Structure formats: structure tokens, C-alpha cells
């Protein structure tokens, strides 16, 4: 076997400490007696050219480059190998600059260390095999789960880029949480108005044809891998055709059955067939099966008979279906919810009247909400005093250890909106910490501070506070023993992942952090990627965030999808992966338990493990774990590593 | 060389590509010398370091082996360093039974930014093995029990 050692002087960086002459001399005793070629700056344009020319003329079978760190230029030299017509994986680099020349004082000692390392590399490179990057056709289309700000932004942007998108939403409507709010911090913009253009484009815009919106739907199964997923989606029956319904509401008017409306925090009634709330998009009602009198055996057709669009719009026989879609990537945008403040003792949520959490109060503020936007107590009067309690169940080891980062901002928005409607109302903010970051949040904060009817009180622990009923029947807040009356109490609980994150996590194998949010591949470098390749994260499902950040996160996830999967483009798979030698696999499945990427599946018929090269990241943990030695870690085989050990020790 | 007794330990270092190998490069960039006794074998992940590599290195003449991994929680491959730790703990039990001092086999964590820590860890490792002296050569027949082409049955749990 002909082996070439290319020794880079790196100017004086290496040459000052390591004698190339000694390397030439030592190489005579190396296996296969490699030739040694001394070059200056192989990474330079001139150096690369001379390296390539030498590869072409000498035609070595294997190549060792003794130079800088492979983390600097392994990719560069692999490209030279390819340019010279060689397989790039027949190269082994030896780091004689960062790990020898720069850190060894005595040139003799440095030369000795370098020679050992090069001998190890020669021993190893003899066993290296040409590896080919596998090519794979991919589907450029995407599945977006959740039609809140992040999911809508992602779906629409992908559609604008020409991609087909399946947008799956659990609720009957789009717009997520903010579409239920009246005004938003920091600029008091009307939420439905702000979202309207986005929602309009999504439903009826130029690109809407590429977006398949499935409301009242959920993901039930995903198979395959990056570029080639098959998703099964359960479509629950709405009993109303989105295609034909004109949203007139005649059906709701005719419906005899009522229940409390969960989308209005159960503070108002709805019919069995009704809209989630006024102005909802898609503009169509949905039927609550358990509430409909038909579920109690009555043969009611009032809604169907009332529909002015014909007998086909409402289909009372509609049943659940499961559809299958092929996609290349998945964007999780399942959003957030609020920590149940009933878990926090002393807050009175659910047990005392006129105690609301922030979502319930947002609905009270909304003109489409249960009080049509009037701020009132349960007995219908305007509150003379309001207590707003921040940090409920957050920054608290007994509940959620983190600060949600958005609550103070909406709390001061509440302050502004209450003051605007009820200027004489006394508002007391009870806060543990105050978080008003960024260039915009301070405005509402300053307004609250300057409001003479507003008082900010800091508490230490939530247990220092207690909401209770006074003897006169009014609510009161006790803070460190001091009593203040409060006709209305608004709680700002921790922002937590939306319900269903746990089952999605199990379904897709994406990890969650200790707070239950989807874990980013890297919190700073790859915050839009989940731990599973091809599954991206956007919005409050990855941590508490405001609408601005959720929209940005939606765009970031789109960036990954567009960059990674392009129509007609074939993705290349790095060949440094693990591969099971099926003749040696005993079927113990130890490899499956250690693989952090779920890249290994078990073939129960053959009783063999199999590595999916697309999902394998090449860490080699399974190679080491396999008790039968049946897994080959390409480019880092047992034999190659053993040869290197032997070489450096000789 | 620095020590008067003239013994220069041979040490094999298994460094993971993402943190500790990068940490070694960082130490290189700082251009502060450290003892030359550690010969580096780069692996993608410390989870790839088979305990038999370590035993084999000791059989073939190494006086010590150091495995450097990403800090817990920072593993590029999520948890390979935890596997390395599990295997390391079991290997130490085995080395003890073989009469090999546990100081000859060290697992530590060096991040890509910890050039100074890398330098210190190498100093400590070389000093520790220098104090222990050469590893008594294992009987010749032992070295035949580990073949480079043989299946590598792991001594450790997964």
C-alpha cells in the first residue's frame, strides 16, 4: 500500500519545533514506508494546488496530513482529495501544531511526540476505507402543529416559498391565545386586528391553496425520518362543513342545548352547535357532541333545518377520520398555557368569586368575551379596587422555578386598561420581582408607576399573600399581615407548555426540559431545532415568550426547513455512521437503549438491529455498547483505533 | 525532560471531538507548554471509548490513560459522556482487581473553552503517573486475549 505523508511547516509555526528531516527519517521504519512530502502552508491556495498535484502524480492509496487541527482544515484537505480523484475518507490528519508544536518547549521532544502521532495515523489510515455519502430524495413539504402566532407565521411563510404545508390545529379556530385578547402589550394594539391580515392570508390569500388547514385535528402517529416522514392526523368531526358554511349562526340560534363556553373561560353560555367566540376564524361553528341532545337519544335536527345553505352543510353523522400525509419536516408550534393557580394555596382561584387568572381576565376585557369588555365583579358592579398578583407559581421552587418574562408586561397593560375604563379604581400590584425588559416594555410600566391610583407592593414568598373574603363579603388581600380590600383579584400565573406537549413529546421522541417545554438542540446555537432531526420548534412550546418572539421563532423554523429541504434536491448523508453487521448481531437490543437519536430499530422478523443512517449522528456509543462487536463505527472502527493506539505507543 | 528519575510516562489521551479535543486546541492556541507525554487519539464522542481500548493501551505499553469528555449536560451527542462515566466507574473496579492503580486511568471534563483547565489536567495526570512509576508489563499471554479484530465485548453496562 502506498501511503503519502504530507507535512506542513505552517511557516515557522510547526517548522520551528518539529524537524521534518527527522520525520522523513522516521517514516522509513513506518509500515509500508510512506513517502514524505514537505510543504509550506498546505491550506493556502498555492499549498492546496501543490498538494493536489502531488496526489495526482504520486497516486497514494492513503494520505496522512500532519499539520494543524483537523477542526481547522480536515474539510479543506478532504476537498483536495476529492479534487484529485481520491475518496476523501482515505485521509487522516495529525494535529502537530495546536497539540504539539505550540505546547512543547523542547524541539527534540516535540519532534518525538509528532513522530509518534504520525506513526499512529499511518497505522490507522492503512485500515481506513473509502466511504460514500449516501444520497436521498426528500419531500420539501412540512407539517406545522399549532395555528397560533408561531405556527401561522411558519405555515404562511413556507407557503409563500412555494411549499405545501399541512397546518394542524387542536382547537376549532386559528390565532392561538392572542386572538382571544382585546389589546396587546406593549403598544395596546388590537389583537384580532393585528392577526387579521395573517389569518386572512392563511385562509384566503394567494398562497392559501398550498396550506391544508385541519382544525380540531391532532397528530397521532409519525413514522420515517428527516426528509421522509409519514404523519397520521386524526380529524375530529366538526359536523359543519368549513367549505360550505357561511358563518351566519342560524344553527346556533336554533339549537336547544346549552353549556358553559370553555373558550370564554366558562364565564358565558354557548349552544351545543356554536362558535368558539364571536369573530372566530375559520368563521364556522362546531358541534359539541356530548352537549347535543342527539347524544341523549333525541332525534333533533333543529340546526340542520335552520341552515340556509342547504342540507349538506351540517352533517350530524360525520365521524372521526385519520388521514395520512407525507412531509419532510415537522414544526412544533403548540404554544403555552397558564399554570393552574388553584395549585397555589391562598390565591382563591376557583374557590372565591371575582378571582381570575390572566387568561380569564383577558376574556373579560375582550369585546367578544362574557361581559362584552366590561370590567365588573360577579354582582355586576364596577370594582373600586383591583389586586394584580404577579409571579403566581413562578420563581418558586414549589411550583415553577423560572420567571415567565411576559407577565409583568401584561400586568401593566391590565393596569392601563383598567385605569382607562375605571379611572377611580385603586390598583395594587403585588410582585416578587419586576421584569420589564427591552426597548418597549417600560412605557406601560412607567404609566403604572406614575398613576396615583396605583400602588406596587413587593412580597417575598407567595405564602406571604392570602386572598380571602372579609366579613362584609368583599375580597381582601393580606400581604405580610397587612389587609387591603380588593373587589377583583387578577392572578398572573407561570406560563407553562400547552396541554398535549407530553403526548407529542412521546409521539415524536423529542425531549422536554425539566419544566416540560420542548428542549432545543442547543439553547443558543440551535434554538429552533428539537433534539430530533427534521423536527423544529417555534414559539411558546419551547419556553415562555411574547408574540414578537413567537413570530420570529416561526420564521427561524422556516429557515431550517427551506435551507435543509429543497424541491428536487437530494440530501447527502455523512457516511461516518454506525452499521450493524447482521451476521453478528445477536438481537439483544442494547444498542437501541443507548442510542440518543432513536436511530436504531429492531427487525423482529430477522431478530436484528438496524441503524438508520439518516438519523445516526455517528457518536459511536452503540459501537462500544454492542457486546457482540456487531456494530461497525465507520471511520472510527475498533481496528482503526487499535492500530492508532499501537502506532503511537511503539 | 523535567524529572530527575528519568521516567517519562507514556499516556494515551482519548479526547472527544467537540469539547475536549477543541479544549486541547484552545490550550494550543494559548501556546502555554504542558508535558508532552500524552498522545492523543481523537474520537467523535467519549461514549465511543471502549474500555478495551484502555486495557489494550495499558497492555501495549501505556502507563496511563486519560479520557476527556464534554461536561455533563454539554455532550454533543446528548449523553455519550454519561455512558463514558458509567464505563469508567466499572473499569476502575476491574483495574483494582488487576492491581492497577486507579490514578492511571482518569476521566475528566474539559470544554472547548477550557484551555487552562486542559493544561492543568494534563500536568496533573502526567505528575500522577510519574509518581506511580512505570506500569509493570502485563504477562505476554494477556496481550493475546485482546485482538484488534476481535469483537469488543464491553466490560461495562451500556
Quickly state the pLDDT bin for B5 (edges 50, 70, 90).
low
Domain B8-136 classification at class level = alpha beta
pLDDT of residue B144: 46
Do the bridges between strand A631-633 and strand A578-580 make them parallel or antiparallel, or are there none, so unpaired? Answer: antiparallel
DSSP letter, residue A348: -
Grid cell digits, residue A630: 456487531
Cell digits for A628? 457482540
| Distance separating alpha carbons of residues A495 and A177, to the nearest angstrom | 12
What residues of chain B, 72 to 101, have a C-beta less than 8 Å from chain A?
Answer: 76-80, 83, 87
pLDDT at A532: 87
Q: Which of A487, A490, A485, A412 is nearest to A454 (CA)?
A: A412
Q: At what angle do helices A638-649 and B51-59 cross, to 10 degrees?
A: 30
User: CB-hemisphere CA count at 13 Å for A546?
Assistant: 17
Q: Considering only alpha carbons, which residue of chain A is nearest residue B119? A: A103
**Secondary structure of A37-95 in HEC code, one letter for each residue:** EEECCCCCHHHHHHHHHHHHHHCCCEEEEEECCHHHHHHHHHHHHHHCCCCHHHEEEEE
**What is the least distance, in Å, from the CA of A627 to any CA of chain B?**
4
Is residue A519 within 8 A of residue A535, CB to CB? The reply is: no
| Distance (Å, whole) CA A626 – CA A605 | 20
- Distance from C-alpha of B13 to C-alpha of A491, rounded to nearest angstrom: 56
CA-based R_g, chain B, Å: 15
Lookup result for grid cell 403604572: A448
Please give the C-alpha separations between residue A265 and each of A120, A366, A369, A376, in angstroms, as whole numbers: 69, 12, 9, 15
CB of A624 within 8 Å of any CB in chain B? yes
Q: 3-state secondary structure string, chain B?
A: CCCCCCCCCCEEEEEECCCHHHHHHHHHHHCCCCCCCEEEEEECCHHHCCHHHHHHHHHCCCCEEEEEECCCCCCCCCCHHHHHHHHHHHHHHHHHHHCCCHHHEEEEECCCCCHHHHHHHHHHHHHHHHHHCCCCCCCHHHHHHCCCCCCCCCCCCC
- Which three three-digit cell numbers place residue A487? 373587589
* Rama region for B78: left / alpha / beta (φ>0; ψ in -120 to 50; rest): left
Asked whether the beta carbons of residue B53 and residue A109 sit closer than 8 angstroms, the reply is no
> Residue B28's closest CA among A104, A622, A432?
A104
Rounded Cα gap, residues A27 and A119, in angstroms: 8
Q: Is B3 on the interface with A (CB under 8 A)?
A: no
Closest approach of chain A CAs to the CA of B144, in angstroms?
14
Is residue A178 within 8 A of residue A184, CB to CB? The reply is yes
pLDDT tens sequence across B143-154 = 444 444 444 444
CA angle, A141 then A144 then A146, to 5°: 165
Which of B34, B83, B151 comes nearest A628 by C-beta?
A: B151
Q: Which of A193, A187, A191, A189 is nearest to A447 (CA)?
A: A187
Q: Decide if B39 contacts A649 (C-beta within 8 A).
A: yes
**pTM as predicted:** 0.76
Mean pLDDT computed over every residue of chain B: 88
Nearest CA in chain B to A578: B48
What is the distance in angstroms between the Cα of B15 and the nearest Cα belonging to chain A? 12
Q: Which one of A99, A618, A639 has the shortest CB-CB distance to B44?
A: A618
pLDDT tens per residue, range B57-91: 999 999 999 999 999 988 989 899 999 999 999 99
Indicate the burial class of B83 (C-beta count within 10 angstroms; 0-12, 13-18, 19 or more): buried
Give long-range contacts, CB 8 A cutoff, 24+ apart: A644-647. Answer: A644/A120, A644/A121, A644/A123, A644/A124, A644/B41, A645/A120, A645/B12, A645/B41, A645/B53, A645/B56, A645/B57, A645/B60, A645/B62, A646/A120, A646/A123, A646/B60, A646/B148, A647/A116, A647/A119, A647/A120, A647/A121, A647/A122, A647/A123, A647/A124
**DSSP letters spanning A252-283:** HHH---EEE-GGGTTSSEEESEE-SSTT-SS-
Residue A363 is given by DSSP the state: H
Predicted pLDDT of residue A568? 87
Q: Chain B partners of A110 at a C-beta cutoff of 8 Å?
A: 36
Q: For residue A605, what pLDDT is reported?
A: 95
| pLDDT tens string A112-132 | 999 999 999 999 999 999 999
Q: Can you read off the three cell numbers belonging to residue A405?
A: 418574562
Asked if B21's CB is within 8 angstroms of A71's CB, the reply is: yes
Question: For residue A11, what is the DSSP state?
Answer: T
Strands A578-580 and A495-497: unpaired
Exposure class string for A360-397: b at 16+ Cβ within 10 A, else e: bbbbbbbebbbbeeebbbeeeeebebbbbbbbbbbbbe
Which residues of chain B have a CB within 8 Å of the CB of A586?
none
**Residue A620 touches partner B, C-beta closer than 8 Å:** yes
Question: Who contacts A646 (Cβ-Cβ below 8 Å, separation ≥6)?
Answer: A120, A123, B60, B148
A638 has which bridge partners? none
Determine the Cα–Cα distance for residues A403 and A395; give it in Å rounded to an integer.
Answer: 5
Task: Decide: A30 and A122 in contact? Cβ < 8 Å.
Answer: yes
DSSP A522: B
Beta carbons of A596 and B77 less than 8 Å apart = yes
> Do residues A600 and A610 make contact, with C-beta atoms less than 8 angstroms apart?
yes
Helix crossing, A70-83 with B20-30: angle to 10°? 100
Over residues A345-388, the pLDDT tens digits come to 999 999 999 999 999 999 999 998 899 999 999 999 999 999 99
> According to the model, what pLDDT value does residue A94 have?
98
Report which of A586, A615, A585 is spatially closest to residue A598, judged by C-alpha positions.
A615
**Average pLDDT by consecutive 10-residue portion of chain A (650 residues)?**
98 97 98 97 97 98 98 96 98 98 98 98 98 92 98 98 97 95 94 94 96 97 90 97 95 96 87 93 95 94 95 94 96 97 95 96 92 94 97 96 97 97 97 94 95 96 96 93 95 96 92 94 92 94 97 97 90 92 96 92 95 92 96 97 97
- The whole-angstrom separation of Cα A488 and Cα A387 is 6
A649 touches B60 (CB < 8 A): yes
Written as nine digits, the cell of A558 is 422556516
Please check the confidence at residue B129 and state whether its pLDDT lies above 70. yes
The beta-carbon neighbor of A596 closest among B28, B57, B78 is B78
Asked if B33 lies within 8 A of A103 by C-beta distance, the reply is yes
**pLDDT at residue B139 greater than cutoff 70:** no
Contacts of B85 in chain A (CB under 8 A): none
* Chain A residues 485-514 with CB within 8 Å of chain B: 511
What residues of chain B, 11 to 70, have a C-beta less than 8 Å from chain A?
A: 12, 17, 21-22, 24-25, 27-29, 31-34, 36, 39-45, 47-50, 53, 56-57, 60-62
Residue whose cell numbers read 517514516: A27
Subunit contact A624:B154, Cβ cutoff 8 A: yes
The three-class DSSP label of residue A539 is coil
Q: Say which residue the cell 362558535 belongs to.
A: A275
Asked if A380 has any chain B CB less than 8 Å from its own CB, the reply is: no
Total residue count of chain B as it appears in this document: 158
- Give the helix ranges, DSSP H, for A126-211: 149-160, 191-204
Query: What's the rounded Cα separation, in Å, for the pair A282 and A275?
Result: 10
Contact A619/B at CB under 8 A: yes
Q: Which helix (H) or strand (E) holds A356?
A: strand A355-357
Grid cell at residue A403: 420567571
| B18 CB-side CA count, 13 A | 18
Q: Do A103 and B34 touch (CB under 8 A)?
A: yes
Q: How far is CA A465 from CA A98, A387, A481, A484, in A?
A: 59, 11, 8, 11
Amino acid at each position: 500500500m502506498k501511503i503519502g505523508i504530507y507535512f506542513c511547516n505552517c511557516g515557522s509555526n510547526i517548522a520551528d519545533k518539529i524537524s521534518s528531516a527527522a520525520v522523513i527519517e522516521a517514516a522509513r521504519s513506518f509500515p509500508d514506508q510512506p513517502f514524505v512530502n514537505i510543504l509550506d502552508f498546505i491550506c493556502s491556495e498555492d499549498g492546496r494546488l501543490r498538494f493536489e498535484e502531488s496526489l495526482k502524480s504520486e497516486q497514494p492509496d492513503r494520505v496522512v496530513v500532519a499539520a494543524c487541527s483537523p477542526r481547522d482544515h480536515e474539510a479543506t484537505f478532504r476537498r483536495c482529495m476529492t479534487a484529485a480523484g481520491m475518496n476523501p475518507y482515505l485521509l487522516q490528519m495529525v494535529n502537530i501544531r495546536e497539540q504539539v508544536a505550540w505546547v512543547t518547549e523542547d524541539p527534540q521532544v516535540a519532534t518525538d511526540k509528532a513522530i509518534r502521532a504520525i506513526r499512529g495515523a499511518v497505522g490507522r489510515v492503512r485500515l481506513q476505507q473509502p466511504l460514500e455519502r449516501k444520497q436521498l430524495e426528500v419531500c420539501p413539504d412540512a407539517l406545522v402543529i399549532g395555528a397560533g402566532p408561531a405556527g401561522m407565521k411558519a405555515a404562511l411563510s413556507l407557503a409563500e416559498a412555494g411549499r405545501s404545508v399541512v397546518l394542524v390545529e387542536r382547537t376549532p379556530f386559528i390565532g392561538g391565545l392572542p386572538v382571544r385578547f382585546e389589546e396587546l402589550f406593549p403598544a395596546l394594539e388590537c389583537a384580532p386586528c393585528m392577526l387579521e391580515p395573517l389569518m386572512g392570508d392563511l385562509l384566503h390569500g394567494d398562497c392559501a391553496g398550498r396550506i391544508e388547514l385541519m382544525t380540531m385535528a391532532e397528530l397521532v402517529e409519525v413514522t420515517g425520518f428527516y426528509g421522509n416522514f409519514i404523519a397520521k392526523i386524526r380529524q375530529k368531526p366538526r359536523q359543519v362543513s368549513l367549505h360550505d358554511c357561511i358563518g351566519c349562526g342560524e344553527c346556533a340560534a336554533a339549537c336547544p342545548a346549552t353549556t358553559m363556553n370553555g373558550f370564554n373561560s366558562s364565564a358565558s353560555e354557548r349552544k351545543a352547535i356554536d362558535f368558539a367566540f364571536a369573530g372566530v376564524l375559520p368563521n364556522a361553528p362546531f358541534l359539541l357532541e356530548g352537549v347535543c341532545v342527539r347524544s341523549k337519544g333525541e332525534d333533533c335536527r333543529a340546526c340542520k333545518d335552520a341552515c340556509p345553505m342547504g342540507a349538506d352543510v351540517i352533517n350530524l353523522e360525520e365521524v372521526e377520520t385519520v388521514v395520512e400525509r407525507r412531509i419532510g419536516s415537522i414544526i412544533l408550534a403548540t404554544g403555552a398555557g397558564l399554570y393552574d393557580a388553584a395549585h397555589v394555596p391562598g390565591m382563591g382561584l376557583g374557590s372565591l368569586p371575582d378571582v381570575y387568572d390572566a387568561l380569564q381576565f383577558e376574556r373579560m376585557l375582550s369585546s367578544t368575551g362574557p361581559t362584552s369588555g366590561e370590567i365588573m365583579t360577579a354582582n355586576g358592579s364596577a370594582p373600586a379596587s383591583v389586586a394584580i398578583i404577579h409571579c403566581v407559581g413562578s420563581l418558586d421552587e414549589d411550583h415553577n422555578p423560572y420567571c415567565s418574562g411576559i407577565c409583568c408586561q401584561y400586568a401593566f397593560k391590565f393596569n392601563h386598561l383598567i385605569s382607562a375604563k375605571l379611572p377611580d379604581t385603586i390598583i395594587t400590584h403585588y410582585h416578587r420581582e419586576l421584569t420589564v425588559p427591552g426597548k418597549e416594555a417600560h412605557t406601560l410600566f412607567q404609566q403604572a408607576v406614575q398613576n396615583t391610583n396605583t400602588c406596587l407592593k413587593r412580597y417575598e414568598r407567595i405564602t406571604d399573600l392570602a386572598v380571602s373574603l372579609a366579613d362584609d363579603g368583599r375580597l381582601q388581600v393580606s400581604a405580610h399581615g397587612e389587609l387591603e380590600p380588593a373587589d377583583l383579584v387578577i392572578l398572573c400565573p407561570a406560563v407553562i407548555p400547552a396541554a398535549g406537549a407530553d403526548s407529542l413529546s412521546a409521539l415524536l421522541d423529542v425531549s422536554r426540559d425539566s419544566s416540560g417545554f420542548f428542549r432545543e438542540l442547543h439553547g443558543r446555537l440551535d434554538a429552533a431545532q428539537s433534539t430530533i432531526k427534521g423536527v423544529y420548534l417555534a414559539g411558546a412550546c419551547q419556553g415562555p415568550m411574547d408574540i414578537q418572539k413567537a413570530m420570529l421563532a416561526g420564521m427561524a423554523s422556516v429557515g431550517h426547513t427551506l435551507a435543509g429541504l429543497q424541491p428536487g434536491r437530494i440530501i447527502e448523508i455523512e457516511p461516518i455512521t454506525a452499521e450493524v453487521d447482521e451476521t453478528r448481531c445477536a438481537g439483544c437490543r442494547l444498542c437501541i437503549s443507548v442510542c440518543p437519536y432513536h436511530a436504531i430499530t429492531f427487525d423482529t422478523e430477522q431478530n436484528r438491529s438496524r441503524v438508520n443512517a439518516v438519523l445516526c449522528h455517528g457518536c459511536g456509543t452503540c459501537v462500544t455498547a454492542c457486546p457482540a462487536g456487531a456494530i461497525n463505527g465507520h471511520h472510527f472502527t475498533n481496528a482503526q483505533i487499535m492500530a492508532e493506539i499501537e502506532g503511537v505507543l511503539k | 525532560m523535567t524529572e530527575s528519575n528519568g521516567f517519562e510516562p507514556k499516556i494515551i489521551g482519548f479526547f472527544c471531538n467537540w469539547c475536549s479535543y477543541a479544549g486541547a486546541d484552545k490550550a494550543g492556541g494559548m501556546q502555554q507548554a504542558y508535558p508532552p507525554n500524552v498522545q492523543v487519539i481523537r474520537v467523535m464522542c467519549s461514549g465511543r471509548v471502549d474500555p478495551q481500548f484502555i486495557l489494550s493501551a495499558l497492555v501495549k505499553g501505556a502507563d496511563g490513560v486519560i479520557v476527556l469528555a464534554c461536561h455533563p449536560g454539554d455532550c454533543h451527542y446528548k449523553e455519550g459522556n454519561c455512558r463514558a462515566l458509567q464505563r469508567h466507574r466499572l473499569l476502575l473496579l476491574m483495574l483494582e482487581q488487576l492491581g492497577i492503580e486507579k490514578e492511571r486511568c482518569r476521566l475528566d471534563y474539559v470544554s472547548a473553552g477550557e484551555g487552562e483547565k486542559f493544561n492543568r489536567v494534563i500536568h496533573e495526570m502526567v505528575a500522577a503517573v510519574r509518581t506511580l512509576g512505570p506500569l509493570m508489563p502485563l504477562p505476554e499471554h494477556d496481550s493475546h486475549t485482546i485482538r484488534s479484530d476481535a469483537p469488543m465485548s464491553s466490560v461495562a453496562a451500556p
